[in-house]
């Protein structure tokens, strides 16, 4: 069963936006998927990208190949690639990224390291993505609430 964050509730039924769990897989396999490319995919394509695993090296390779194929078939374009961080910050339970702490502090919240350690990988990933200055950030506070950090 595919789990979504509550803060994504306004778009998950239609999958009009790229859910965090797919965004995590994109960063894991090193592909930048643009929203217009996502929109050109069928609902079945989107469901497959949600449900397929992308953790072990063979899974990551298979996910990357499928996504590359889907983008080519649906848009006629080639995918943009990203460098894959061998030690992404969402896997580090010992260090809270500065962007996350700064964004939390804007709301008068301090995240303790023991709280950060208790978060699921996907939750740490979401907070990192939602705290970036180039992101809309509207869901940062709802995510903090959802993850019991408030």
Is 1 a member of any domain? no
- What's the pLDDT at 1? 37
- Backbone angles phi and psi of 112, in degrees to 5: -85, 150
- What's the pLDDT at 2? 53
Q: Are residues 26 and 67 in the same domain?
A: yes
> pTM of the prediction?
0.91
Distance from C-alpha of 101 to C-alpha of 114, rounded to nearest angstrom: 14
Q: Are residues 10 and 77 in the same domain?
A: yes
Number of domains forming the structure of the chain: 2
Q: Are residues 74 and 30 in the same domain?
A: yes
The per-residue pLDDT for range 76-134, each reduced to its tens digit, is 999 999 999 999 999 999 999 999 999 999 989 999 999 999 999 999 999 999 998 76
Q: Are residues 65 and 116 in the same domain?
A: no
Distance from C-alpha of 145 to C-alpha of 143, rounded to nearest angstrom: 5
Owning domain of residue 17? 6-81
Q: Are residues 76 and 114 in the same domain?
A: no
Is 51 a member of any domain? yes
> Quick count: other Cβ atoms within 10 Å of Cβ 41?
20
Q: Are residues 96 and 50 in the same domain?
A: no
Is 28 a member of any domain? yes
Last residue within a domain, chosen from 81, 103, 135: 81
């Amino acid at each position: 069963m595919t789990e979504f964050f509550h803060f994504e509730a306004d778009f998950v039924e239609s999958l009009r936006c790229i859910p965090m769990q797919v965004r995590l897989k994109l960063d894991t396999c090193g592909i930048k998927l643009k929203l217009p490319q996502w929109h050109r995919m069928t609902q079945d394509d989107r469901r497959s990208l949600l449900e397929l695993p992308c953790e072990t090296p063979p899974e990551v390779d298979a996910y990357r190949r499928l996504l590359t194929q889907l983008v080519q078939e649906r848009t006629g374009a080639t995918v943009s690639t990203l460098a894959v961080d061998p030690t992404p910050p969402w896997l580090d339970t010992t260090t809270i990224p500065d962007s996350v702490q700064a964004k939390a502090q804007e709301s008068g919240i301090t995240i303790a390291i023991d709280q950060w350690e208790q978060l699921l990988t996907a939750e740490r990933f979401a907070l990192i993505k939602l705290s970036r200055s180039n992101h809309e950030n509207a869901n940062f506070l709802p995510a903090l609430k959802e993850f019991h950090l408030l």
